Chain A
Amino acid sequence: GAVVSQHPSWVICKSGTSVKIECRSLDFQATTMFWYRQFPKQSLMLMATSNEGSKATYEQGVEKDKFLINHASLTLSTLTVTSAHPEDSSFYICSAPLRTGYYNEQFFGPGTRLTVL
């Protein structure tokens, strides 16, 4: 089956620093990838849609200047949390769709746990 990887799996950083998270589709190409955020005991909330070769589309309430997304190739999207603060501490998960049969199925990365001190 299709595999999506994320790196790093966890990161701890100081307040004010920037953190980059990578999302890769290992055995398929994805012109679109999705970035979700999950707070403890909460559901996954879509942050933005990453589009290869064009600007990302952000959900309402998500600051595009704080969460920079770059979809540089058909297998890689990166999310950079700029000037991170403790309230940005969360679990970040990416996904990529792959057409399997008659429909598109979402494949998720293992997630990245971000802790901002």
Chain B
Amino acid sequence: KQEVTQIPAALSVPEGENLVLNCSFTDSAIYNLQWFRQDPGKGLTSLLLIQSSQREQTSGRLNASLDKSSGRSTLYIAASQPGDSATYLCAVHHRGSTLGRLYFGRGTQLTVWP
């Protein structure tokens, strides 16, 4: 069974800092890994999707890396802003499971204060 862990559970930083959020998964047999953002009481916004054959993906100030063999991914946020405050979820699409079924971590709750 695939288990996804995210560290830290919560993070509070001043504006402008560069951040690293960590995600680990127990089974490296994955199709892809996806990072989401969730605002309070809202649905999920997809940030980045990394295929199992890829090492990283970038979108604006966000950079996500994937080390499948070690079961780890990091989300790097450059020059953080108060608008980045949200919960960030990591999810993996595990091979052998129903196509599209994702396993989620509990998330990292990020607060960026001005």
Which single member of B51, B89, B101 contacts A34 (CB below 8 Å)?
B101
Interface centre among B36, B44, B51, B102 (most CB of A within 10 A): B44
Contacting B at CB under 8 A, from A77-117, are 91, 93, 95-97, 102-111, 113
Segment with Cβ contacts to B, from A13-21, A40-48, A62-70: A40-48
- Determine whether A75 belongs to the interface, using a CB cutoff of 8 Å to chain B: no
Contacting B at CB under 8 A, from A13-69, are 32, 34, 36, 41-46, 49, 57
- Determine whether B82 belongs to the interface, using a CB cutoff of 8 Å to chain A: no
Residue tally, chain A, CB below 8 Å to B? 28
**Given A105-B46, A105-B49, A109-B43, A32 and B104 touching (CB < 8 A)?**
no
Measured CB to CB, the residues of A under 8 A from B are 6, 32, 34, 36, 41-46, 49, 57, 91, 93, 95-97, 102-111, 113
Which single member of B34, B98, B105, B107 contacts A57 (CB below 8 Å)?
B98
**Given A43-B89, A110-B42, A111-B42, A103 and B32 touching (CB < 8 A)?**
yes
From residue A6, how far is it (CB to closest CB) to chain B in Å?
8
Residues of A within 8 A of B42 (CB): 110-111
Contacting A at CB under 8 A, from B5-60, are 31-32, 34, 36, 41-44, 46, 49, 51
From residue B7, how far is it (CB to closest CB) to chain A in Å?
14
From residue B39, how far is it (CB to closest CB) to chain A in Å?
10
